[in-house]
C-alpha cells in the first residue's frame, strides 16, 4: 500500500511539471498562477517523499498508523521486523502493554527495547492537526492488546 501511495505522489509531481512545461511551450512563457502552484506543490510532495525515504534508510525504522474512524493500530517497522499497538480514535489513546506484558507478548527482538521503541513511536506519531493530541495508556486488557508476529 505504501509503495502505491508513493508512486501516486511521484506520478502526480511529474504530471504537474509536465503540464507546466507544455503550457509554457504553448503560450510562449505566460503561465498562470495555478500552473506555478501545481509545479511548486508537485516538487514539494516529491521533496517530502525523497526526504522521508532518506530518513527511513538512515534511521532504519518507520512508524505508520492504520485504521478508521473508530480505531486501528500503530505499525512500528524496523528493518522488516514489525510490532503493532492498538489505538482508539474516539479516546485519542494508544494502548501500550505494561512492562511485564510487553516482555510476554512482544517479539524477541523488541522485548528489552520498550523505552527506545516507544520513544520512536511518540516522535513519529506526534501531535494531530485536529483535536487533542494522542495519549498513551498502559494496559494489560486483552481487548486493548494486539497479537504480535514472533520474529
- Give the SS3 label for residue 111: coil
Distance of CA 26 to the CA centre of its chain: 40
Q: What is the pLDDT of residue 40?
A: 80
The whole-chain average pLDDT of the chain stands at 81
Q: Tell how strand 93-97 and strand 61-67 pair up.
A: unpaired
- Which grid cell is 138? 498502559
Model pTM?
0.67
Q: What is the pLDDT of residue 30?
A: 54
Domain residue ranges of the chain, discontinuous segments joined by +: 2-59, 61-144
Can you tell me the distance from the alpha carbon of 65 to that of 54, in angstroms, rounded to the nearest whole number? 20
Asked whether 17 and 39 are in contact (CB, 8 A), the reply is yes
Q: What is the pLDDT of residues 92-146, one digit of tens each?
A: 899 999 999 999 999 999 999 999 999 999 988 876 666 678 889 998 888 888 8
Number of H helices, E strands in the chain: 4, 5
Q: What is the pLDDT of residue 106?
A: 92
Can you tell me the distance from the alpha carbon of 78 to that of 44, in angstroms, rounded to the nearest whole number? 27
Amino acid at each position: 500500500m505504501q509503495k502505491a501511495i508513493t508512486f501516486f505522489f511521484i506520478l502526480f509531481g511529474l504530471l504537474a511539471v509536465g503540464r507546466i512545461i507544455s503550457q509554457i511551450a504553448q503560450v510562449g512563457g505566460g503561465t498562470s498562477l495555478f500552473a506555478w502552484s501545481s509545479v511548486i506543490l508537485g516538487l514539494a510532495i516529491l521533496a517530502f517523499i525523497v526526504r522521508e525515504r532518506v530518513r527511513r534508510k538512515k534511521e532504519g525504522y518507520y512508524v505508520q498508523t492504520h485504521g478508521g474512524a473508530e480505531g486501528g493500530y500503530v505499525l512500528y517497522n524496523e528493518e522488516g521486523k514489525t510490532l503493532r499497538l492498538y489505538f482508539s480514535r474516539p479516546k485519542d489513546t494508544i494502548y501500550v502493554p505494561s512492562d511485564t506484558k510487553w516482555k510476554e507478548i512482544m517479539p524477541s527482538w523488541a522485548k528489552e527495547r520498550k523505552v527506545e521503541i516507544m520513544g520512536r513511536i511518540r516522535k513519529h506519531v506526534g501531535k494531530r492537526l485536529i483535536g487533542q493530541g494522542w495519549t498513551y495508556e498502559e494496559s494489560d486488557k486483552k481487548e486493548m492488546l494486539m497479537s504480535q508476529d514472533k520474529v
